[in-house]
Structure formats: structure tokens, C-alpha cells
Amino acid sequence: MAIPISYNVRNVLQRPVSTLTTAIGVGLTVAIFIGALSLVSGFRAAMLTTGSPANAIALRKGADSEISSGITRDGANILRAIPDVAAGPDGRPLVSAELVVVTNKERLGQKGSSNVTVRGVDAGSLTLRDRVKIVEGRMFTPGTDEVIAGSRIARRFANCAVGDRIRFGQREFTVVGHFSAAGSAFESEIWGDNPVLMPALQRDDVFQSLTFRMRDPARFAALKKEL
């Protein structure tokens, strides 16, 4: 027999704490689906893109690339709390929430300009991508207007030599290093500190992707379905 609606209403009013707890729990679950993350399909794609079969990339559901994806800070924090995400030696989740923006820059020794991918990364990005190596200069210092340029970018675009200044939005950044990435597409990117690049490029509070280390790579397919 169906329970009268009036009974349900009285029950809610008499137990406000448990009702609120339930509502918050439902709200968090809904937030996960509103964030609607999807993982890059397959170990091969993850390995080719992130440098390790233990890594995965989360995009907004329905996005076919990082550029078309958008993940809120709340969505990123939810993923950081998932038990499937591995932790580093400091106990923090091995997650790099990343900004990816395409901007136009002057080519080196040629007339005209071309597109350049700029990636804002977290401090743990190099831990997740062990194929990325600094080959000249040094890594940028978090919290500063410093960037590093991929080795291909350094050869093809103006203002990308170590010591040069390059403008993004309303701020100028100093190129402090060049990096290689085992021939991957990362070598055609410029990287900087996410909290500094995001406001400079007017991209506050939205990331394009989340790269993270899985505790158990065998859980990839199951985790993909759950997200």
C-alpha cells in the first residue's frame, strides 16, 4: 500500500538533520553527474597521451578533445576524493587539473603567426609525466610569471628562447626552460603554473582536463563507467 504524502512530509520535518544529510549526499552524487566526466578510452590512449599506463585523463562527458572540455573546480575536487586516485609520497592525490588554451603567436624567422597550445599545469604534473624532461634552463617556479617551452616550440616561434619574455593576455611571462617529451605533442606546447595562467587568460574556475594516477590500472574500465 502506498504511503500517504502527508506522512512523508511530517517525517521530513521531524528529522531535519538526517534529511539534510541525505540531501547533501544526493547533491554530491548529482554534482558528479553534472560534472559528467569521461575518461580517455583505453590504456593505449592513456599511455600515448600521458606517458604511463597507470594514468588516465578525465574530460567533460561528450567532449572529444581537451579544448572542447570544461571541468569546474568542484568537479575537480570530487575526482580528487575518489578512492581510485593514487596518492603521492606526501599523501596528496596524484591529480593535475589543467588549463588548455590555443593562442596565436609570431613564428620565428617567418612572416605571420600560428597557433600555439598553452597548458597550465599543477606542481605534480612532472611526477605524472615522467617522459617530460627539462633539457635547457630549469622548471618554472610555482606562483610566478614563468613558463617552459617545448623543444619544437622553441625552434619555431619567436620569444621562446630561454630568457625571452612572452605575453599571454595582459601579463608577460619569462621563458625559463625548454623541455622534451619523448617526441609527443607536449613538445609543441608552452607550460606554466595553472593558478597564474588561468587569470592571465581569463579562464578562472574552469579546467579543460584532469590527468591522474590510478591506484589500480585494471580498474580503468570500471572507473570509466562509474564516472
DSSP string, 134-199: EEEE-PPPTTSSEEEEEHHHHHHBTT-STT-EEEETTEEEEEEEEEE-TTSGGGGEEEEEHHHHHH
Task: Please give the pLDDT value at position 19.
Answer: 44
Residue with cell 541525505: 22
Average pLDDT over residues 188-197: 95
- Quote the pLDDT of residue 197: 95
Instruction: Please state, in angstroms and rounded to a whole number, the distance separating the CA atoms of residues 41 and 56.
Output: 9
Write down the mean pLDDT value for the chain. 81
Q: Where are the beta strands (DSSP E) in the chain?
A: 37-39, 55-60, 71-72, 95-106, 113-121, 133-137, 146-150, 165-168, 171-180, 189-193, 206-207, 209-213
Whether the per-residue pLDDT at 193 is higher than 50: the answer is yes
Q: Where are the domains of the chain?
A: 1-35, 38-226
According to the model, what pLDDT value does residue 102 have? 93
pLDDT digits (tens, 9 = 90+) for 116-169: 999 999 877 888 888 899 999 999 999 999 999 999 999 999 999 999 999 998
Q: Give the amino acid at 188.
A: S
pLDDT of residue 40: 54
Summarised one tens digit per residue, pLDDT across range 55-78 is: 888 888 888 888 888 999 998 898
pLDDT at 50: 54
Q: Is 36 exposed, middle or buried (0-12, 13-18, 19+ CB in 10 A)?
A: middle
* Average pLDDT for 107-121: 91
Contact between residue 100 and residue 218 where contact means Cβ atoms under 8 Å apart: no
Most trustworthy range by pLDDT among 136-145, 197-206, 218-227: 136-145
